[in-house]
């Protein structure tokens, strides 16, 4: 499939045209026009406000609601059943806040108490991931700066003090890998293990997990990626025998076998094209609900990459590289219908909607990019 990539001048020209009018101009009209549709929260990295949007899943239109709440955000995640949004802050202490969501307007109101995740230390200003393990009702936290993974109980949906904090060890050859930097926490299909992707240690650590308490317990196993890879995300294929690890620094995607708590490498594929000579930077990873397609973003070549997963083996085959609609596609998310993918281009200040071909997995950009300040995290309130 032929590839095309935007120049910086082309992208910035389009962004300037998109953002020529003030971002919040016409917000009342936008809100009136967007009362129906799915609610999407757009968060800047180390920002001070969270922005709202309505997404029309029939036609793919995205409408900005402007700022909906003040929050020192790095990463956000929704409660799976309640109208609550968890915000991992950019403050020292690795603080998690909880916000109540007004489903009609998208407005956020802080509720409950702030929860620290760094055990009272002074480091830990960079929470790089939040996610809820629904069976245990635990909020999983990756604290990048402090090099730790934590789990918080969710009584009535509001986080309490950590029930577990596990610190990693290790470093890598890149100057950014001067110590452990946890980037992602995910629970394996059995519910008995927590896998931690550690950017700084060049490892995916395999810890224990107790779903009756939500506690992560230090493990003894790990998978060592190539030196200087910088593991950023780890996800499981629905069949449970294959894991995918996205490496930030080497800008590639690994396919690994998962058996009895052990990861074994099987395949490694570059995100960027062979012609790319710039700095590689893998950013985000997502799987289609049926496990047939894997989606990744590269902040190196500013592309989204689509892979098809073999139903039997889980091995990947390149389907498409497509421009992300901006610069530095920091994150992406799939709509629950499986028909749409939305990408946040942090450096160009744009969010782009893509239609998903359910048969091939291929993406097609829909409409013009929508302007948001430095978007880095996209979170749907799936109700």
Give φ, ψ of 268 to 5 degrees.
-140, 120
Q: CA–CA separation, 341 vs 293, rounded Å?
A: 12
Query: Where is 248: in which H helix or E strand?
Result: none
Q: CA–CA separation, 38 vs 62, rounded Å?
A: 9
Are the CB atoms for 268 and 254 separated by under 8 Å?
Answer: yes
With vertex at residue 241, the alpha carbon angle to CA 354 and CA 355, rounded to the nearest 5 degrees, is 5
Query: Given the structure tokens 């990295």, which residue do they identify?
Result: 45
Which structural domains are found in the chain, ordered by start?
8-21+40-381 (2.130.10.10)
- pLDDT score for 4: 45
Residues of the chain with pLDDT under 70: 1-36, 119-125, 383
The dihedral over CA atoms of 122, 126, 131, 133, expressed in degrees to the nearest 10, equals -30
Q: CA–CA separation, 73 vs 71, rounded Å?
A: 5
CA atoms within 13 A on the CB side of 104: 1
| DSSP codes, 9-38 | HHHHHHHHHHTSS-TTTTHHHHHHHTSSSE
CA atoms within 13 A on the CB side of 298: 26
Query: Where is 217: in which H helix or E strand?
Result: strand 215-224
- pLDDT score for 34: 44
Give the pLDDT confidence of 244-263 residue by residue, as tens digits. 999 999 999 999 999 999 99
265: CB partners within 8 A, 6+ apart: 223, 254, 255, 256, 257
Are the CB atoms for 324 and 283 separated by under 8 Å?
Answer: no
Q: Is 58 exposed, middle or buried (0-12, 13-18, 19+ CB in 10 A)?
A: exposed
190: CB partners within 8 A, 6+ apart: 240
- Retrieve residue 11's tokens: 């992208």
pTM above 0.85, yes or no: yes
Q: CA–CA separation, 341 vs 327, rounded Å?
A: 17
Query: Given the structure tokens 């490498």, which residue do they identify?
Result: 265
- pLDDT score for 120: 55
Q: Is 381 exposed, middle or buried (0-12, 13-18, 19+ CB in 10 A)?
A: middle
Query: Given the structure tokens 């060890």, which residue do they identify?
Result: 169
SS3 350: strand
Distances (CA, A) of 33 to 65, 177, 366: 10, 47, 19
- pLDDT score for 90: 79
Q: CA–CA separation, 370 vs 367, rounded Å?
A: 9
* DSSP state letter for 8: H
């Amino acid at each position: 499939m032929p590839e095309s990539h935007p120049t910086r001048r082309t992208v910035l020209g389009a962004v300037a045209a998109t953002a020529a009018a003030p971002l919040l101009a016409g917000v009342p009209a936008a809100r009136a026009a967007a009362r129906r549709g799915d609610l999407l929260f757009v968060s800047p990295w180390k920002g001070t406000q969270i922005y709202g949007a309505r997404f029309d899943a029939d036609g793919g239109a995205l409408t900005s609601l402007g700022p909906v709440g003040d929050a020192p955000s790095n990463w956000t995640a929704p409660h799976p059943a309640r109208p609550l949004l968890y915000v991992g802050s950019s403050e020292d202490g690795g603080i998690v806040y909880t916000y109540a969501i007004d489903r009609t307007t998208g407005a956020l109101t802080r509720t409950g108490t702030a929860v620290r995740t760094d055990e009272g230390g002074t480091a830990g200003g960079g929470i790089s991931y939040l996610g809820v393990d629904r069976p245990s009702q635990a909020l999983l936290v990756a604290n990048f700066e402090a090099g730790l993974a934590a789990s918080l109980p969710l009584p009535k949906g509001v986080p309490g003090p950590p029930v577990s904090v596990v610190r990693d060890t290790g470093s890598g050859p890149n100057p950014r890998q001067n110590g452990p930097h946890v980037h992602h926490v995910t629970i394996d299909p059995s519910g008995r293990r927590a896998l931690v992707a550690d950017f700084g240690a060049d490892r995916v650590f395999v810890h224990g997990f107790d779903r009756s308490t939500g506690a992560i317990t230090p493990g003894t196993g790990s998978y060592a990626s190539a030196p200087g890879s910088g593991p950023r995300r780890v996800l499981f294929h629905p069949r449970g025998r294959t894991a995918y690890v996205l490496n930030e620094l080497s800008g590639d995607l690994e396919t690994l076998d998962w058996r009895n708590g052990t990861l074994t490498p099987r395949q490694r594929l570059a995100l960027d094209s062979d012609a790319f000579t710039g700095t590689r930077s893998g950013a985000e990873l997502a799987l289609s609900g049926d496990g047939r397609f894997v989606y990744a973003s590269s902040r190196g070549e500013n592309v989204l990459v689509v892979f098809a997963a073999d139903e039997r083996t889980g091995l990947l085959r390149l389907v498409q590289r497509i421009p992300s609609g901006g610069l530095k596609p920091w994150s992406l998310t799939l709509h629950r219908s499986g028909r749409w993918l939305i990408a946040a281009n942090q450096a160009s200040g744009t969010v782009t909607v893509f239609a998903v071909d359910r048969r091939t997995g291929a993406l097609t950009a829909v409409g013009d990019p929508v302007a948001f300040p430095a978007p880095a995290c996209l979170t749907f309130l799936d109700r």
